[in-house]
A and B are shown apart, each in its own frame.
Chain A
Amino acid sequence: MELIVASAVGVLTAGGVYLILRLRAFAVIIGLALLSYAVNVFLFSSGGLSVNLPPILSKYGDAAYTDPLPQALVLTAIVISFGMTAVLVMIALGAYLEADTDRINIPAEDPDADGDADAAEGRAS
């Protein structure tokens, strides 16, 4: 059990980091999603791993239970990372349509341009 969870976190993180370092919008988005899965599993295990136990104190005697707080934290983290991924997709799409490339490092327009036309547009608009 511990081995499976630990290696899942490890593999997901490794895959996420690799994809983020590709610096292409699509790969980065998938990479960030993998990374957030990894962190969700990690948070889940931070309260200790147990199988088939309820996350509440039992009324009948001191039955074993699993820590409910990490579950609440994971739920919050899932909601937030879902929203963030949506925002990232929209911004990446905007940048792709604007620059015609899905690179994260879109080359800047000539930094020395004197800015009468295009650069001024970008700066002042």
Chain B
Amino acid sequence: MNHWIIAPVVLPALLAPIIGFVMRHDIGLARIFSVAGAVAQAAIAAGLFAAVAGGEVLTYRLGDWPAPFGIVLVLDHLSALMLVLTAVLALIVLAHAIATGWDARGQHFHALYQFQLMGLSGAFLTGDIFNLFVFFEVLLIASYGLMIHGGGRDRLRAGLQYVVMNLVGSTLFLFALGALYASTGTLNIADLAQRVQAIGVESSGIVRVATILLMMVFALKAALFPVQFWLPGTYANAPAPVAALFAIMTKVGAYAIIRVHTVIFGPGIEATSGLAETWLFPAAIVTVAIGALGVLGARRLMPLIAFAVLGSVGTMMLAVSAFSPKAMSAALYYLVHSTLAAAALFMVADLVVRRRTSDILRPRPPTLQNGLFAALFFAVAIGLAGMPPLSGFLGKLLVLDALRAPGDMAWAWSAVLLGSLLTIVGFARAGSTLFWKSTSLPAPVATDDAPLPPRAGALEVAPSMLAVALLAALAVFAGPMARFTDATANQLFDRQGYVTSVLGSEEKG
């Protein structure tokens, strides 16, 4: 048994209380430990990624109890991919938060940040659906703290709504788990996959209810129509680095839908056939539409980016809803891309907004480094909207290519293409207002009582640059990346392989 599998959960779990209790008054020390933790996390994730690159499914039995009785962690391609993505994103965002001084504007930023990483890693690794609920709660309770970091009226208002929304979601999650346990008698994902398969259509009522309830909960996390209303307010009012980190939060919901609705309620299961596909597809279409219209109608920069994130969630879930290996591969490629692009956009916007004192989309005197910010903004906006040469273009191309089923193609293609067009128009309008029209106004002059905001140093800009570079790398190495996501998707749909590697280890061990 490879003990490194549990390291991504244990490391932040140990680090967070140490930072919270010992270094609460020493921000410098907390920064050092937090960054060191994030670097170690990234190294562990890379190591685990290498361990399963060959296509194995590794399991870790907590307390060495055999699978259906004890809790297991399962490391396969998808988990490893999400772990690496989380660790890389966390490192970039942490660098941004420290360079811009966001972490010093309230208490316990670094402790909460590590707890957030613990919850994310655990959610991606666990092979037990009740354990998934527990890790969801861990990452949520950390996100509540991060969301209201720094305080302020608007932020508390949005934070309160976010908390209430998610608490209702957690309750629904528990109802779904209760129903699932009542009808199958297990909560281990691999064991569930077997038991659900054995349930006939005539006695499938409770399982079908549980399926839909679970999808509602995960759709709430992923911000899918009709439960997407929390996202724009939350992302627009959260501190910018937190909003950038939250780019992975919607992907947790997407990950859960992908995992649960392929392994447990996957295609070919009689009891729940047709449920997920039927509801996910129209919901994704509407989500794309809301995102695009929101981008076009937004009057402030932060909500505009939040709506763009919503659109990208819709595009990704559109590919997921096809439930075929090819479409799933496209969805995973787009997932990695949209996470990095959304985070980069929030970080760039943070640099700009801080120097303009407001994120309202009206011409204001240009900032000192107008050209640099304009270039960065457009690079990232191009990435998120899906124009060449960055990876968004390839991601959308793969998604479109995968959605060729006769009935769906017209809807899916029009939604994605029109959505992209509206998003591009929205971004172009916002960018020209922010950067171009501003140059016609007189440049600000420093006075004694109103000094100019400081220039952005290399350290402040570096994380955003790095994110853009990663997007470019994702486009350049699209071949190997697509081969990997293909393998991941095939592994996901090989339900029997997953079940035997989790439950089969019983006889061997």
- Chain B residue nearest to A121 (CB atoms) is B152
Chain A neighbourhood of B157, CB < 8 A: 95, 99, 105-106, 108
B401 within 8 Å of A by Cβ?
A: no
> Are B360 and A112 in contact, CB atoms less than 8 angstroms apart?
yes
B144 within 8 Å of A by Cβ?
A: yes
B161 within 8 Å of A by Cβ?
A: yes
Chain B neighbourhood of A83, CB < 8 A: 141
Chain A neighbourhood of B164, CB < 8 A: 20, 28, 32, 88, 104
> Are B175 and A39 in contact, CB atoms less than 8 angstroms apart?
yes
Chain B neighbourhood of A114, CB < 8 A: 358, 360, 362
| Most A CB within 10 A of own CB, among B130, B161, B175, B178 | B178
> Are B137 and A112 in contact, CB atoms less than 8 angstroms apart?
no
| Residue from A20, A81, A122 within 8 A of B154 (CB atoms) | A122
Q: In whole angstroms, how far apart are the Cα atoms of A35 and B144 in the complex?
A: 20
For chain A residues 38-75, which have a beta carbon within 8 Å of chain B?
Answer: 38-39, 42-43, 45-47, 69-70, 73
Chain B neighbourhood of A112, CB < 8 A: 299, 360
> Are A91 and B144 in contact, CB atoms less than 8 angstroms apart?
yes
> Are A39 and B171 in contact, CB atoms less than 8 angstroms apart?
yes
Q: In whole angstroms, how far apart are the Cα atoms of A76 and B174 in the complex?
A: 11
In this complex, the interface size class of chain A, counting residues with CB under 8 Å from chain B, is 35 or more
> Are A122 and B155 in contact, CB atoms less than 8 angstroms apart?
yes
B151 within 8 Å of A by Cβ?
A: yes
B452 within 8 Å of A by Cβ?
A: no
> Are B182 and A124 in contact, CB atoms less than 8 angstroms apart?
no
> Are B105 and A76 in contact, CB atoms less than 8 angstroms apart?
no
B357 within 8 Å of A by Cβ?
A: yes
For chain B residues 150-203, which have a beta carbon within 8 Å of chain A?
Answer: 150-157, 159-161, 163-164, 167-168, 170-171, 174-175, 177-179, 181-182, 187
Contact status of A122 and B182, CB under 8 A, knowing A43-B177, A77-B174, A114-B358: no
What 0/1 pattern do residues 346 to 390 of B give for CB contact below 8 A with A?
Answer: 000000011001111010000000000000000000000000000
What is the CB-to-nearest-CB distance from B106 to chain A, in angstroms, rounded to a whole number?
10
> Are A47 and B148 in contact, CB atoms less than 8 angstroms apart?
no
What is the CB-to-nearest-CB distance from B371 to chain A, in angstroms, rounded to a whole number?
22
- Chain A residue nearest to B148 (CB atoms) is A91
B300 within 8 Å of A by Cβ?
A: yes
Contact status of A73 and B105, CB under 8 A, knowing A104-B160, A123-B353, A123-B359: no
What 0/1 pattern do residues 71 to 109 of A give for CB contact below 8 A with B?
Answer: 001001100110110011001101100110000111011
> Are B163 and A88 in contact, CB atoms less than 8 angstroms apart?
yes
> Are B153 and A125 in contact, CB atoms less than 8 angstroms apart?
no
What 0/1 pattern do residues 22 to 37 of A give for CB contact below 8 A with B?
Answer: 0001001000100110
- Chain B residue nearest to A85 (CB atoms) is B167
The A interface is mostly helix, strand or loop, or mixed, namely helix
What is the CB-to-nearest-CB distance from A90 to chain B, in angstroms, rounded to a whole number?
9
Contact status of A46 and B181, CB under 8 A, knowing A91-B148, A104-B160: yes
A120 within 8 Å of B by Cβ?
A: yes
B10 within 8 Å of A by Cβ?
A: no
| Residue from B150, B174, B360 within 8 A of A125 (CB atoms) | B150
Contact status of A91 and B159, CB under 8 A, knowing A32-B168, A35-B168, A122-B154: yes
- Chain A residue nearest to B233 (CB atoms) is A108
> Are A20 and B137 in contact, CB atoms less than 8 angstroms apart?
no
B134 within 8 Å of A by Cβ?
A: yes
What is the CB-to-nearest-CB distance from A48 to chain B, in angstroms, rounded to a whole number?
8
Chain B neighbourhood of A123, CB < 8 A: 154, 302, 353, 357-359
A116 within 8 Å of B by Cβ?
A: yes
Q: In whole angstroms, how far apart are the Cα atoms of A74 and B168 in the complex?
A: 17
Q: In whole angstroms, how far apart are the Cα atoms of A80 and B157 in the complex?
A: 23
> Are B354 and A88 in contact, CB atoms less than 8 angstroms apart?
no
- Chain B residue nearest to A29 (CB atoms) is B164
Chain B neighbourhood of A42, CB < 8 A: 174-175, 178
- Chain B residue nearest to A16 (CB atoms) is B171
Chain B neighbourhood of A43, CB < 8 A: 174, 177-178, 181
Q: In whole angstroms, how far apart are the Cα atoms of A70 and B187 in the complex?
A: 11
What is the CB-to-nearest-CB distance from A16 to chain B, in angstroms, rounded to a whole number?
8
| Residue from A20, A77, A119 within 8 A of B360 (CB atoms) | A119
A-B contact pairs, 29 of them (CB 8 A): A28-B164, A32-B171, A39-B175, A45-B182, A46-B179, A73-B178, A76-B130, A77-B174, A80-B134, A80-B170, A84-B167, A88-B167, A91-B163, A94-B148, A94-B151, A95-B159, A98-B152, A106-B153, A109-B153, A115-B360, A116-B357, A120-B358, A121-B152, A122-B154, A123-B302, A123-B359, A124-B354, A124-B357, A125-B151
Contacts A39-B175, A122-B153 aside, 7 further interface pairs with beta carbons under 8 A come to: A20-B164, A47-B181, A70-B178, A73-B178, A76-B130, A88-B167, A92-B160
Report which A residues bind B (CB closer than 8 A): 20, 25, 28, 32, 35-36, 38-39, 42-43, 45-47, 69-70, 73, 76-77, 80-81, 83-84, 87-88, 91-92, 94-95, 98-99, 104-106, 108-109, 111-116, 119-125
Query: Which 7 residue pairs spanning A and B have beta carbons closest together?
Result: A115-B358, A46-B182, A46-B178, A95-B156, A106-B157, A120-B357, A39-B174
